[in-house]
Chain A
Amino acid sequence: MAAPPRLSKMPISPRRRQSTIKGYLVGVVLALVLTAIPFGLVATRALRPIQIFVVIGIAAIAQAVVHLRYFLHLDLKPSSQNKLIALCFAGVVLFILFGGTLWIMFNLNYRKM
């Protein structure tokens, strides 16, 4: 085939492009901050261990939300029903996996002692 005909790229209006770049930057900054907090806490041991655990857990969940919101552009608008179903299903599965892991780990721990 001779030189394939060119395809026009999806037009992106300048305003939209700017807003996405801004969104990505905000996301990166938030992600970095949320990474720095746990590492900082562990390095300095500023809190008691159990408190550090809790903060790390919260930072991890927040991190996931930031990724979904700023990088995968998920929102809770009802327009995207598929997304919502997928998100709910993921939530349930993650709950089972995390809950089950915590259950078994504490159970084993308890029996070891």
Chain B
Amino acid sequence: MLGKLTIDALPFYSGIAMGGALIVVFAVLGVVALVTWLGQWRYLWTEWLTSLDHKRIGVMYVTLALLMLVRGFIDALMMRTQQAVALNSDGYLPPGHFDQIFTSHATIMVFFVAIPFLVGLFNVVVPQQIGARRLAFPFMNSACLWLTAAGAALVMISLVIGKFSTAGWNAYPPYSEAQFNPDVGVDYWIWAVLLSAIGSMLTGINFLVTIVKRRAPGMRLMMMPLFTWATLCTNILMVFAFPSLIVAAALLGLDRYLGMHFFTDGDGGNVMNYVSLFWIWGHPDVYILILPAFGVYSEVVATFSGRRIFGYESLVYSTAAITVLSLVVWLHHFLTMGAGSDVNAFFGRAAPLIAVPTAVTIFGWLFTMYRGRVQFTVPMLFTLGFIVTFVIGGMTGALLAVVPVDIHDTTFLVAHFHNLLIPGALFGYFAGYQYWFPKAFGFRLEEKWGRRAFWAWIVGFCLAFIPLYILGFMGMPQRLNRYYDPGWQPYLIVAECGALFILCGIIFLAVQLAASIRNRAALAVPTGDPWDGRTLEWATASPPAAYNFAVVPHVHGIDPWWAMKQAGATAPRPARFHDIIMPDNSSAGVVLGAMSFVFAFAMIWQIWWLAAVGALGIFAAVLSQTFRDHAEHRIPASEVEAIESRRILAPALVSGAPT
């Protein structure tokens, strides 16, 4: 009746696991109680959960990412604490539990923090940057959000019911096969990754089509803002990379569920095939996470230097070059796995090539700043913090590519990829969050707490990861639960302090949000253009109307909004308004996500009847949306006019943004 699910799945075996489970349960109950107490269920359902408005969907994505960031960070803090104390002792985490934590930390950070964060930014910004009123496939967008949320919910529920995978974030077979890992942990990993990966692939298609097909008249490819370019390249990578991960995870699932032999040790299976499939996704994925951050930095640098980005074309070509190169060099992950020397020689040299376009990009930003008057706002601080730390990361990457140096699989590697992923990706998302927050909500975020958050993050990052570089040279392997070398402990304690600084950084971000909401009247941006922006997203109201642009603008060059302001024009106001057709809300996306969750949960615990229910539910949700005849509504011209005349227009030339 309940498959493998028994009372033993509840975490009575360990106080720490029980604590985690209780926190999750009480957090969910707390949110439910709060919404009920405020009587906001109807509002939440009609205005947000079922919305097909890309701005709302974007906000929900970013909310998901920030919530999961807290969870992923708690995992990291637990690992740091364990390693700080586990000299010649067991510390406080048994090995199995430690393994679960590094697996869930990485899975969460990659699939449920970084991806939702960047997709959220795409959603809020890209359609407005290209002068579009909506995405190409609004319903698919909502479906992707809820698929991702369902995947995140699976990882969260694994804290309460059963255990998560211990096989690392890449779940390499044969260890992840049923033979060595008969429990549900790896199944949790497989299904969470599948749901999220399917969502990401479809999102890639959605934005690719939107950017190709729905640009404002006159906007040629070479006039698109750099964030849109970054998005386009990211989407291409998503479309090509994610299918590979989906196939790898699905085949691993077939091995586990149906006893097949794709990746088993014997019977014709080949482990290396999994490794190859995984990195065909995994290597581009690093750039999927980094390119959007680069896009944000470009926008931030141009805006806060008050001038056009230096070398627009070369930045575009660099982005494209990074895209193509990153699809080619995945095999360098075989460097340590005994590939022949010709394979190694090719990929050992190909990988550092990526440094060239990266350097071009960074010099583009530096020259822009050099020639402009830089305002040190919070987004700008994150950008500068990134540039400084990334140079360190780049140099260490070059060290790693020198094959014979034996620092692979040590904490050097851990420090290296965190150097890519925290300043290289997360800081960019933070910068974007600070920069476009007034766009989405109509008021700015507090500067004071933003600065404090920045300093806490950057100091914490350096303290937490520079010791790991050193430990790597001293030979400390990654994923270590206990150790016997007293020389390592001081460094690990410093790293623990770094993690505590980062904790402060996260708390300051929360304080900043709360303080800004409280002071929203003082921080309001009535003109909608708080930073004296350059690109089209600042031409709409903040927060934008459902249709973004009452009149779709004509574009004649890069930085069209800047050009309009220079020409003395404000937001274009036509003689006559027209009706606008927009997609209706739909509950099918939420149902689809909920049913995928039910289906995946049932598959994990092998509750076959429930899986059938879930599968039917998914089918019904898709079918109902497909056969909806009138999925759009018309906003009459009079209503558009009413909305637009309520808007306070930006003065023709805004001089100097508030600092």
Contacts and interface: CB of A to CB of B under 8 A. Distances in A.
B280 A108 contact: no
A107 B280 contact: no
Contact of B272 (A100, A103, A104): A104
Given A105-B272, A105-B276, A111-B339, A100 B331 contact: yes
Given A105-B270, A108-B338, A9 B629 contact: yes
Contact of A110 (B277, B340, B630): B340
Contacts of B632: 7
Contacts of A4: 584, 630, 633-634
B273 interface: yes
A89 B327 CA distance: 12
A35 to B, nearest CB: 16
Contacts of B634: 4-5, 7
B280 A97 contact: yes
Nearest to A9: B629
Contacts of B327: 93, 96-97
Given A101-B276, A105-B276, A6 B212 contact: no
A44 interface: no
Given A7-B634, A97-B280, A104 B331 contact: yes
Contacts of B584: 4
Nearest to A90: B240
A100 B581 contact: no
Interface string B406-436: 0000000000000000000000000000000
Given A103-B343, A105-B270, A6 B630 contact: yes
B334 interface: yes
A23 B327 CA distance: 35
A107 B339 contact: yes
Contacts of A6: 630
Interface in B560-591: 581, 584
Interface in A1-43: 1, 4-7, 9
B330 interface: yes
Contacts of B280: 97, 101
Interface in B620-659: 629-630, 632-634, 636, 639
B328 interface: yes
Contacts of B236: 89
A20 to B, nearest CB: 15
Contacts of B330: 100
A107 B273 contact: no
Interface in A44-87: 82
A12 to B, nearest CB: 13
A96 B584 CA distance: 42
A107 B240 contact: no
A97 B248 CA distance: 14
A96 B328 CA distance: 7
Interface string B306-338: 000000000000000000000110110010011
A30 B593 CA distance: 32
A7 B630 contact: yes
Interface in B240-264: 240, 244
B338 A111 contact: yes
B276 A107 contact: no
A7 B581 contact: yes
Contacts of A96: 327-328
A57 B659 CA distance: 61
Contacts of B212: 82
A91 B639 CA distance: 48
A21 to B, nearest CB: 16
A37 to B, nearest CB: 20
Contacts of B338: 108, 111
B31 to A, nearest CB: 31
B630 A107 contact: no
Nearest to A110: B340
B169 to A, nearest CB: 22
B35 to A, nearest CB: 26
Contacts of A7: 581, 630, 632, 634
Nearest to B340: A107
Contacts of A108: 272, 334, 337-340
A45 to B, nearest CB: 14
29 contacts: A1-B633, A4-B584, A5-B633, A5-B634, A7-B581, A7-B630, A7-B632, A7-B634, A9-B629, A90-B240, A93-B327, A97-B240, A100-B328, A100-B330, A101-B273, A101-B276, A101-B280, A104-B272, A104-B334, A105-B273, A107-B340, A107-B342, A107-B343, A108-B272, A108-B334, A108-B338, A108-B340, A110-B340, A111-B339
A-B CB proximity, top 7 nearest? A4-B633, A107-B340, A5-B634, A108-B272, A101-B276, A107-B343, A104-B331
Given A96-B328, A101-B276, 17 more contacts: A4-B630, A7-B634, A82-B212, A100-B328, A100-B331, A103-B343, A104-B272, A104-B276, A104-B339, A105-B272, A105-B273, A105-B276, A107-B343, A108-B334, A108-B337, A108-B338, A111-B340
